Amino acid sequence: MLGIKNLYKSFGGIIAINNITLEIEKSSITALIGPNGAGKTTLFNIINGSIKPDSGTVELNEIDITGYEPHHLFNLGILRTFQVAHEFSSLTVKDNLMMVPPNQTGESILQTWFSPKKIKLEEQNIARKAYQVMDFLQLKHLANEYAGNLSGGQKKLLELGRTMMVDPKIVLLDEVGAGVNRTLLNTIGDAILRLNKELNYTFCMIEHDIELISRLCDPVIVMAEGSILMKDKISKVKKNDKVVEVYLGKNQ
Ligand SMILES: Nc1ncnc2c1ncn2[C@@H]1O[C@H](COP(=O)(O)OP(=O)(O)OP(=O)(O)O)[C@@H](O)[C@H]1O
Ligand SMILES: [Mg+2]
């Protein structure tokens, strides 16, 4: 579904992405792992258009999308969540969700004069969708809570919820499990699995929690120093000498 070819990106002297070629398969939950500074977030930033690669290409269903702007990629169904949650803290959970859908008729001032009924209807539909999303993610009891008052884990759930307000083709999750307690992590894991199985979402997730990865992800891609070390099942990844070395090497 997502094809990356000979991708390269450096920041000054630092090579963040060093000639990466890889494929993310449709309907997979692919994990992207690797030590700090491996280039995982940079890869996400390139895929979703927030930074441009120096060379190489990104294709979505065999269409070259390299260098497209983030809003364009969003409209094509490439959605992401951030390593640090990006909620609007002074808006409620419900309003955070309702803000998401692109091309809302209500955004055009002229339309508010000429077709207020249509806008009202659209708003009702969006509100209904927001409640469905909150129901799915067990956030309904927090609908009218300010997003700024949520716990770290609940903010991550809200991030996931924002991707559900549109119909994504692929969702990139950047450390959705970081700093989240075990109970909420299970809720997030369940939601990801259901979205994958029931709604056929494709996920690529940067994750450190090996338990969560083992439960959800196949395949697992291992990155180190801007390159791909391997791509395989988690059971194979755990046993690979190079992978073990990369992780232990960083801790010594
Ligand atoms: N905007 C930037 N300017 C300069 N250097 C950057 C920038 N973004 C990333 N880098 C560098 O590129 C390398 C890869 O960083 P990146 O954030 O992609 O790693 P990561 O695998 O996501 O790490 P972490 O697990 O810590 O989140 C690092 O050496 C980082 O310092
Ligand atoms: Mg990162």
Residues 6+ away with beta carbon under 8 Å from 217 = 29, 30, 31, 205, 207, 234
For residue 44, give the ligand 1 atom closest to its CA: 18
Q: What is the pTM of this model?
A: 0.88
Scan for tokens 């508010």, then name that residue: 112
Per-residue confidence (pLDDT) for residue 102, from 0 to 100: 54
Measured between alpha carbons, how far is 39 from 227 in angstroms, rounded to an integer? 8
What are 59's two structure tokens? 């294709």
**Backbone angles phi and psi of 95, in degrees to 5:** -70, -35
Measured between alpha carbons, how far is 24 from 15 in angstroms, rounded to an integer? 22
Looking at residues 197-217, what average pLDDT do you find? 93
DSSP letter, residue 88: -
- 94 and 212, same domain (yes or no): no
- 112 and 218, same domain (yes or no): no
Per-residue confidence (pLDDT) for residue 167, from 0 to 100: 78
- 72 and 187, same domain (yes or no): yes
Cβ-contact 29, 218 below 8 angstroms? yes
Residue nearest to atom 7 of ligand 1 (CA): 11
Per-residue confidence (pLDDT) for residue 103, from 0 to 100: 46
- 181 and 220, same domain (yes or no): yes
Number of domains in the chain: 2
Per-residue confidence (pLDDT) for residue 19, from 0 to 100: 96
Measured between alpha carbons, how far is 119 from 30 in angstroms, rounded to an integer? 38
| Residue of 7, 8, 11, 84 best suited for mutating to test ligand 1, as the one with most atoms within 8 Å of CB | 11
Measured between alpha carbons, how far is 36 from 44 in angstroms, rounded to an integer? 15
- 25 and 119, same domain (yes or no): no
- 9 and 81, same domain (yes or no): yes
What are 196's two structure tokens? 């994958």
Query: Is pLDDT larger for residue 1 or for residue 122?
Result: 1
Per-residue pLDDT reduced to its tens digit, 84-105: 767 889 999 999 999 886 544 4
How far is ligand 2, taken at its centre, from the CA of residue 207, in Å?
A: 9
Polymer length in residues for the chain? 252
Scan for tokens 């630092």, then name that residue: 14
Measured between alpha carbons, how far is 177 from 184 in angstroms, rounded to an integer? 9
> Which range marks the domain in which residue 37 is found?
2-86+168-251
Dihedral of the CA atoms 208, 219, 83, 172 (nearest 10)? -170
- 227 and 237, same domain (yes or no): yes
How far is ligand 1, taken at its centre, from the CA of residue 16, in Å?
A: 6
Measured between alpha carbons, how far is 60 from 23 in angstroms, rounded to an integer? 10
- 134 and 181, same domain (yes or no): no
Using a 6 Å CB cutoff, which residues line ligand 1?
11, 14, 16, 34, 36-42, 83
Measured between alpha carbons, how far is 238 from 214 in angstroms, rounded to an integer? 10
Report yes or no on 140 lying in a domain.
yes
- 236 and 189, same domain (yes or no): yes
CA-nearest of 215, 203, 207, 153 to 175 is 207
- 245 and 175, same domain (yes or no): yes
Within 13 Å, how many C-alpha atoms sit on residue 209's CB side?
Answer: 18
